[in-house]
């Protein structure tokens, strides 16, 4: 497995889910939309979990940046609430668009505020964190396929 900087790995997840939202919006068949909706929700849940288990605590320790973390955790909570609503109402395209808006905003915060600070921080081993994130991601995707 190629080693990857944690922020690069996480941002590739971001790009991937943004592409999936584009596919969702371009899909006209209801069955295809439902498959994409469930893949999007699954990949977001895994992504948020690995951030919270591995990346955020390391970021907290290295930067002490409570403010950005507090906002990020709040945005994860809001995304999980939307995902729970989507789970209960799989045909609801409006909820998927709300989720897309929330995720675009959150991704932007991580890209603009958190990742640059993480790259500049002393004491964050981004390559080692990248390995840990990749391992945990694989484990979670295998345990809960979409
Ligand atoms: Fe996040
Ligand atoms: Fe993220």
Tell me if 146 is assigned to some domain.
no
State the pLDDT at residue 2: 66
C-alpha 7 to ligand 2 mean position (Å): 9
C-alpha 23 to ligand 2 mean position (Å): 20
pLDDT at 17 over 90: yes
pLDDT at 3 over 90: no
Tell me if 1 is assigned to some domain.
no
Tell me if 22 is assigned to some domain.
yes
State the pLDDT at residue 146: 66
Tell me if 109 is assigned to some domain.
yes
Task: Count how many residues are written for the chain.
Answer: 146
Tell me if 120 is assigned to some domain.
yes
Mean pLDDT, all residues of the chain: 95
pLDDT at 145 over 90: no
C-alpha 99 to ligand 2 mean position (Å): 14
Tell me if 81 is assigned to some domain.
yes
Tell me if 39 is assigned to some domain.
yes
State the pLDDT at residue 28: 87
State the pLDDT at residue 1: 56
C-alpha 28 to ligand 2 mean position (Å): 28
C-alpha 48 to ligand 1 mean position (Å): 5
Q: Distance (Å, rounded) from C-alpha 130 to C-alpha 123?
A: 14
DSSP label of 122 = T
pLDDT band at 15 (very low <50, low <70, confident <90, very high): very high
Total number of domains constituting the chain: 1
Report CA 63 to chain centroid distance, whole Å: 21
C-alpha 116 to ligand 2 mean position (Å): 13
What are the tens digits of pLDDT across the range 39-81? 999 999 999 999 999 999 999 999 999 999 999 999 999 999 9
What are the tens digits of pLDDT across the range 108-124? 999 999 999 999 998 89
What residues pack around ion ligand 1 (CB closer than 5 A)? 51
What are the tens digits of pLDDT across the range 86-114? 999 988 899 999 999 999 999 999 999 99
Tell me if 107 is assigned to some domain.
yes
The parent domain of residue 90 ranges over 6-141
- Of 52, 24, 38, 36, the C-alpha closest to 114 is 52
State the pLDDT at residue 144: 77
């Amino acid at each position: 497995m190629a080693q990857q900087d944690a922020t690069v790995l996480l941002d590739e997840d971001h790009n991937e889910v943004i592409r999936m939202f584009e596919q969702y919006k371009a899909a006209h068949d209801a069955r295809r939309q439902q498959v994409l909706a469930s893949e999007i929700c699954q990949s977001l849940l895994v992504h948020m979990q690995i951030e919270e288990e591995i990346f955020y605590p390391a970021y907290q320790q290295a930067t002490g940046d409570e403010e950005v973390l507090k906002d990020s955790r709040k945005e994860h909570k809001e995304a999980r609430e939307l995902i729970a609503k989507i789970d209960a109402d799989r045909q609801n395209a409006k909820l998927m668009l709300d989720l897309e808006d929330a995720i675009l905003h959150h991704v932007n915060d991580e890209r603009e505020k958190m990742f640059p600070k993480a790259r500049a921080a002393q004491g964050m081993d981004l390559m080692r964190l990248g390995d840990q994130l990749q391992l945990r991601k694989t484990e979670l995707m295998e345990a809960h396929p979409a």
